[in-house]
Amino acid sequence: DIVMTQSPDSLAVSLGERATINCKSSQSILYNSNNKNYLAWYQQKPGQPPKLLIYWASTRESGVPDRFSGSGSGTDFSLTISSLQAEDVAVYYCQQYYSSPHTFGQGTKLESK
Amino acid sequence: EVQVVESGGGLVQPGGSLRLACEVSGFTCSNYWMHWVRQVPGKGLVWVSRINSDGSSTNYADSVKGRFTISRDNGKSTLYLQMNSLRAEDTAVYYCATGRGTYISSWFDCWGQGTLVTVSS
């Protein structure tokens, strides 16, 4: 199974500041035939299900604010929130869909400072 | 409005069975392949099972293989998870999620609110 490791486990950022969450896969999740990275990002607020933010490592889901962006390739990826808003406080997960079983990172708890 | 609504969770003794259901309505979410994902309260997300559009292909996590069965009734727009021989470690919130991408490579675009399964004597 591909192991997804996020860092840090928790992060406190001031409102209006940039927040960056990292995700590393135990093997490359770049599919060479289509040059796509098989990685998604989700946001989960307390008591709610996860919400899809980004897929193909950098494609924002419809309706997701443009302050959220994804980057990276191969084994190293990042989710960046350019200017933290109060409603962004949540746990964030990365997920690989390159191979089965699809696996998630352990989550990063983002708080406001 | 898109809705994904799970039901069927509850308290069950070890070795017991439960059947979860998930009804999908609306058209924004892809609903060709469907998944179950579980989450121990306060912990991370774990993929459990998937099924293709007509129910002819299914896959399971090793931890539930041989004990859980995923199925669907497209006429009722409903997904099921039959869970047998339940263990304490199956205790979790079970989410139904729609998959986008391909059957074998999906991200999850719509999620239900989840249903809690507690396995305890």
| Residue A61 in contact with partner chain B when CB distance is under 8 A | yes
Average pLDDT, stretch B63-67? 98
3-state SS, residue A74:
coil
- A107 and A93 Cβ atoms separated by less than 8 Å: yes
pLDDT-based confidence at A6, cuts 50/70/90? very high
Position B25 scores a pLDDT of 83
Q: What is the pLDDT of residues A25-50, one digit of tens each?
A: 999 999 999 999 999 999 999 999 99
- In terms of pLDDT, which residue wins out, B29 or A32? A32
Position A93 scores a pLDDT of 98
Question: Residues of A with CB below 8 A from B44's CB?
Answer: 93, 104-107
Q: How far is B75 from chain A (nearest CA, A)?
A: 26
- Given a cut of 80, is residue B38 above it in pLDDT? yes
Position B10 scores a pLDDT of 97
- B48 and B38 Cβ atoms separated by less than 8 Å: yes
Position B27 scores a pLDDT of 65
Distance between CA atoms of B105 and B40, rounded to whole angstroms?
24
Cis check: omega of the bond before A8, within 30 degrees of 0: yes
Interface test with A, best of B58, B107, B109, B113 (most A CBs within 10 A): B107
3-state SS, residue A71:
strand
Of B15, B19, B8, B11, the closest CA to residue B91 belongs to: B11
pLDDT-based confidence at B90, cuts 50/70/90? very high
Position B2 scores a pLDDT of 65
pLDDT-based confidence at B26, cuts 50/70/90? confident
Of B32, B52, B23, B100, the closest CA to residue A61 belongs to: B100
Distance between CA atoms of B76 and A101, rounded to whole angstroms?
28
Position B32 scores a pLDDT of 79
Give me the total of CB pairs closer than 8 Å, taking one residue from chain A and one from chain B.
50
Q: What letter represents residue A91's amino acid? A: V
Instruction: Pull the structure tokens for residue A13.
Output: 């950022």
Instruction: Pull the structure tokens for residue A99.
Output: 């191979």
Distance between CA atoms of A77 and B20, rounded to whole angstroms?
35
| Residue A36 in contact with partner chain B when CB distance is under 8 A | no
Q: How far is B26 from chain A (nearest CA, A)?
A: 16
Instruction: Pull the structure tokens for residue A5.
Output: 């490791």
Count other Cβ atoms within 10 Å, centred on residue A99.
15
Distance between CA atoms of B60 and B48, rounded to whole angstroms?
6
- Given a cut of 80, is residue A83 above it in pLDDT? yes
For A97, the closest of B61, B105, B113 (CB atoms) is B105
- A79 and A41 Cβ atoms separated by less than 8 Å: yes
Question: Which of A70-84, B22-36, B92-106 shows the lowest per-residue confidence on average (mean pLDDT)?
Answer: B22-36
